[in-house]
Amino acid sequence: MTAPETESRTVSRPEPNAEPIRVAILGATGKMGRYAVAAVGGAPDLELVAELGSRDPVSAALDAGASHLLDLTVPQVSPDNVAFAVEHGLHAVVGTSGWSAERRETLSGQLAAHPEVGVLIAPNFSVGSVLASAFAAKAARHFPSVEIIEMHHPDKVDAPSGTAVRTAGLIADARQAAGVGASPDATTHDPDGSRGALVDGIRVHAVRLRGLEAHQEVLMGGPGEQLVVRHDAFDRGAYMPGVLLGLRTVASRPGLAYGLDAYLDLD
Amino acid sequence: MTAPETESRTVSRPEPNAEPIRVAILGATGKMGRYAVAAVGGAPDLELVAELGSRDPVSAALDAGASHLLDLTVPQVSPDNVAFAVEHGLHAVVGTSGWSAERRETLSGQLAAHPEVGVLIAPNFSVGSVLASAFAAKAARHFPSVEIIEMHHPDKVDAPSGTAVRTAGLIADARQAAGVGASPDATTHDPDGSRGALVDGIRVHAVRLRGLEAHQEVLMGGPGEQLVVRHDAFDRGAYMPGVLLGLRTVASRPGLAYGLDAYLDLD
Amino acid sequence: MTAPETESRTVSRPEPNAEPIRVAILGATGKMGRYAVAAVGGAPDLELVAELGSRDPVSAALDAGASHLLDLTVPQVSPDNVAFAVEHGLHAVVGTSGWSAERRETLSGQLAAHPEVGVLIAPNFSVGSVLASAFAAKAARHFPSVEIIEMHHPDKVDAPSGTAVRTAGLIADARQAAGVGASPDATTHDPDGSRGALVDGIRVHAVRLRGLEAHQEVLMGGPGEQLVVRHDAFDRGAYMPGVLLGLRTVASRPGLAYGLDAYLDLD
Amino acid sequence: MTAPETESRTVSRPEPNAEPIRVAILGATGKMGRYAVAAVGGAPDLELVAELGSRDPVSAALDAGASHLLDLTVPQVSPDNVAFAVEHGLHAVVGTSGWSAERRETLSGQLAAHPEVGVLIAPNFSVGSVLASAFAAKAARHFPSVEIIEMHHPDKVDAPSGTAVRTAGLIADARQAAGVGASPDATTHDPDGSRGALVDGIRVHAVRLRGLEAHQEVLMGGPGEQLVVRHDAFDRGAYMPGVLLGLRTVASRPGLAYGLDAYLDLD
């Protein structure tokens, strides 16, 4: 959060003549919430109209005159928050986890009755991470070999990371569509499991190291060459450009968008 | 050149029902030429009909029944070779350097009279390297900071590398189109030039290290995050998948293509 | 500062039967100072007896019963602080910059009259960074090629970093002692200075990138191989293990030690 | 093998006034053997007196006037070769695998009767790799977290690599001697084994990627920092400086040395 505002502005700029963006943040007192309060508060084209904690009713967003809801809460309450937003014509950007296919389908149904409202649900708000996964998926069909190494702080309880699982899925789909077979592997002796997990046919290795936050490398190799796409998230500031991009774009994209990819010019 | 053929085949596969590809290699005795002889000779859907050295006339390709010319010669003779190919209806894939804008314009004029002939001129035949540059150009507008580090063997006489200069140009164009300003830099004291070269406004650093061959990293950074795209070419085998892709595709792309990018599904 | 204390304790442990360590921190309100207050306060074998700001007199350390002084102030006042400490029998650990050879000589003279007092002046408190430089110096004579890449946040005003300059010096000394010549370099054409700075005969490249903090890579190469020693400091927490190591060790090392290396078992 | 000889000479130089070194290579027609023939043949202070294949008797080395034997054969015949060398007063440098503790003990017994003869058995002739492992072992006690990632070509049948297993052992010993506990790891959910192998209590990850040869990274982390020691062996040329160092040193080190470390100034 130490970068001069002028820098981030040049990267994700306000659209000219856009309607005013009045943001209510739900979950403003959590870790992500505090970063978001600073980021939205510091953006010249956004107005932070409400910082709501876990005990505040979502209706307070409406009372504060919000046009946009930023939901950074917990899976238990996020669907109700978003349903309320849609019902009242607020655009919503959602960083809360737990939005299963079933929940998203219900939400799409609701949005059909409010065709002017936009909702973005993003499992990962890091623009860099989303770009990295998309690049890996695009490149992986050109190389016989591909493996993923994800590295996180050692307080993380699950392995591999959700981002690594999603990246493996994207890569696997792209390779299958291109008719590329499995990565070559002559291993016959690996008594202790050093070759890691097989996720959708892609090897995934999870490193846990004090000092790290959230990092991922996709290694792709062919005869005589290697292509590496690496993303490092050093702190939650990494997610703020994606949050701002979402808030600035969601009103112009009615309906439900799942994944920040939808808002990046990736194809 | 040690990878089993079955691997490379899965990655760049022959198109079904394609016309036969009978390849004459010019410059077959040079370093790239020897790799190409092995690669073309080992590809099940390509037929190597002529290996021509610097003293052989290009007409020998025609005599051998070639449908495609692979030109890996020198700037002094490459234009005449390609002109001959176009005149006689041979498709051409060209890895020789020195194809200036002026030379390419002359060639385009000639191709207008032979609308069925395709020519690919590729300054870099590494699919991985071309992908890396394209990804960097696509991502760089999302980050305030971007710098390039290229690393090569210490026998190289020019710095920075042509690939780094091209990558810097692509990044600079993409950032300018998106209205992104210069990378932030508070440096006021750098008496010995440690900050490297400024190429189209992008910092480029050239490392020369025994043991390395040809490597490039593009570092992109924003608050709390970094995206790195790295390509390693360990030997000239790295260029063979691109050569094969060119030979397999050129007949279906009449006219002049400059850069392997044109044959990759990048947009 | 988020690591459980039990971890750091296992790494730099209190010595058994050591005299009590009562620490006064000078410059406690600066960036480093705040990290140090947390680190010293959280260490079970250290007692934080005084947090002194820029307006507090150094004598307050004595009044608070300190046995050790941790000086994290500015070059203008650090020599007086340390002189006071030595005069009154306090051991001192100093992270302030500006301790020239001349100043250190004066201090050594003063310490001669107080043979029981220990002082550590450390230009870099990161154990990892000091180890990295020492390893590079030890390895560099075994490789024909060596170059340094340092990477920092773009608010830094000088380039290359002081650590890179010191590392280059250590490497140059070690190579000269072993009779190793200059790194091979055939570059004849580098119009824009991409080859970076020459520091004691070693090429040094400085990258400035938003998102980074303080990072350094030493690349060493020989025919067919490369050795890379990289250190990343993500935040000032990186310096705390070195500060604690200094405080725990200084009383047992009378006289002046310059550089944390002196306290690490490196030879 | 493409580096100018003048470079490698500066790095591992002949000792002045040393006795002449007349080398017989056993296993001269294997992969390592061919590299060794070129390296020994190109070294100004070594004389290559015999290149022996698998069918040549070891006595041919004696007939050729060799003072040193370089054994690059197979585990089945290496002990007999070395026994013959010792018996006849030839110093031996051995790169063949399979020298178990039992075999080495037998050899030591034999050497006791020939106190002027030196033998070096090296499981890894890469100076860089040996340095990397030694540095990792030296540094690992200063960091709460340590993990190893080894990366090899996908034709390798065993995982993890022998070098990774040895490195893990060295690190584990050093950490135990310093009283450092296990790396922190909160993982409770890893259904597919992405956390890799546990070797002597150290996590080891094995990557297999076409294009790579033999690479290893040791990652060490503490609050706010990371230290990475990486070694890349791009081809067997990486082992030649170690072979030459062994041949130049073995006569001055009577008795049995196991591991190239013994000849490097590491402590």
Model confidence at B5, pLDDT cuts 50, 70, 90, reads very low
Name the residue among A156, A188, A207 with its Cβ closest to that of D147: A207
Task: Give dist(CA A206, CA A194) in Å, integer.
Answer: 11
Answer yes or no: are the C-beta atoms of A261 and A134 closer than 8 Å.
Answer: yes
- Quick one: A45 and A98 in the same domain? yes
Q: Are strands A21-26 and A68-71 parallel, antiparallel or unpaired?
A: parallel
Nearest chain B CA: its distance from D151 CA (Å) = 14
**Helix, strand and coil in chain C, % to nearest 5:** 35, 25, 40
pLDDT in tens, A211-237: 999 999 999 999 999 999 999 999 999
| Cβ <8 Å between B184 and C210 | yes
C-alpha distances (whole Å) from B242 to each of B95, B165, B238, C87 are 10, 20, 8, 73
Measured between CA atoms, the residue of chain A closest to residue C231 is: A211
B63, pLDDT greater than 90: yes
B3 vs D: CB within 8 A: yes
pLDDT computed for residue D197 by the predictor: 98
Q: What's the longest Cα–Cα distance across chain D?
A: 65
| Cβ <8 Å between D192 and A197 | yes
pLDDT in tens, D136-153: 999 999 999 999 999 999
Q: Which residue bears the tokens 């040079």?
A: B30
Task: Give dist(CA B182, CA B175) in Å, integer.
Answer: 9
Instruction: List the Cα angle D206/D207/D212 in 5-degree steps.
Output: 130
Interface contacts (A, D; CB < 8 Å): 182
Mean pLDDT of D34-63: 95
- Quick one: D240 and D118 in the same domain? yes
A13, pLDDT greater than 60: no
Name the residue among D160, D164, D219 with its Cβ closest to that of A209: D219
- Quick one: C179 and C146 in the same domain? yes
Q: Which two tokens stand for residue C64?
A: 């608070």
- Quick one: B132 and B121 in the same domain? no
A135, pLDDT greater than 70: yes
Q: Where are the beta strands (DSSP E) in B95-157?
A: 118-121, 145-152
Domain of D44? 5-125+236-263
Mean pLDDT of B161-167: 95
> 3-class SS at D95?
coil
Nearest chain C CA: its distance from A154 CA (Å) = 10
Element (H, E) at C129: helix C127-139
Tell me the backbone φ, ψ of residue C78, rounded to 5 degrees.
Answer: -60, -45
- Quick one: A12 and A83 in the same domain? yes
pLDDT in tens, D208-266: 999 999 999 999 999 999 999 999 999 999 999 999 999 999 999 999 999 999 898 77
Tell me whether residue A127 is exposed, middle or buried, using C-beta atoms within 10 angstroms of its C-beta: 0 to 12, 13 to 18, 19 or more.
buried
pLDDT in tens, B173-212: 999 999 999 999 999 999 999 999 999 999 999 999 999 9
Answer yes or no: are the C-beta atoms of B192 and C197 closer than 8 Å.
Answer: yes
pLDDT computed for residue A266 by the predictor: 75
pLDDT in tens, C174-201: 999 999 999 999 999 999 999 999 999 9
Residue D56 has what DSSP assignment?
S
Name the residue among B132, B225, B264 with its Cβ closest to that of A232: B225
Q: Identify the chains in contact with C, defined as 3+ C-beta pairs within 8 A.
A: A, B, D
Nearest chain D CA: its distance from C175 CA (Å) = 9
Confirm whether residue B163 is marked as ligand binding: yes
C265, pLDDT greater than 80: no
- Quick one: B199 and B131 in the same domain? yes
pLDDT in tens, C125-166: 999 999 999 999 999 999 999 999 999 999 999 999 999 999
- Quick one: B166 and B177 in the same domain? yes
- Quick one: B138 and B244 in the same domain? no
What CATH number corresponds to the domain at position A59? 3.40.50.720
Q: Where are the beta strands (DSSP E) in A209-260?
A: 214-222, 225-233, 255-258
Q: Which segments of C are annotated as binding site for NAD(+)?
A: 27-32, 95-97, 122-125
Mean pLDDT of B126-155: 97
Confirm whether residue B167 is marked as ligand binding: no
D178 vs A: CB within 8 A: no
Mean pLDDT of B224-228: 97
- Quick one: C205 and C245 in the same domain? no
| Cβ <8 Å between A223 and B232 | no
- Quick one: D226 and D141 in the same domain? yes
Tally of domains within chain B = 2
> 3-class SS at A46?
strand
pLDDT computed for residue D266 by the predictor: 75
- Quick one: A174 and A147 in the same domain? yes
User: Which residues 186-245 of C are in CB contact (within 8 Å) with B?
Assistant: 186-199, 203-212, 219-226
Percent of chain C with pLDDT over 70: 93
Residue C151 has what DSSP assignment?
E
pLDDT computed for residue C12 by the predictor: 53
The closest of C248, C258, C215 to C128, measured between CA atoms, is C215
Model confidence at A19, pLDDT cuts 50, 70, 90, reads low
Q: Where are the beta strands (DSSP E) in A7-73?
A: 21-26, 46-52, 68-71
Active-site choice (B68, B152, B215, B231): B152
C2, pLDDT greater than 50: no
B2, pLDDT greater than 50: no
| Cβ <8 Å between D197 and A192 | yes
Helix axes D240-249, D31-42, angle to 10 degrees: 60
Rg for chain C, CA atoms, rounded: 20
C-alpha distances (whole Å) from A186 to each of A183, A189, A248, D158 are 10, 9, 49, 8
Q: Are strands A118-121 and A255-258 parallel, antiparallel or unpaired?
A: parallel
| Cβ <8 Å between B210 and D3 | yes
Which of C129, C210, C228 should one mutate to test binding to chain A, selecting the residue with the greatest count of A CBs within 10 A?
C210
- Quick one: C22 and C103 in the same domain? yes
Helix axes A101-112, A78-87, angle to 10 degrees: 10
Model confidence at D207, pLDDT cuts 50, 70, 90, reads very high
pLDDT in tens, A43-88: 999 999 999 998 899 999 999 999 999 999 999 999 999 999 999 9
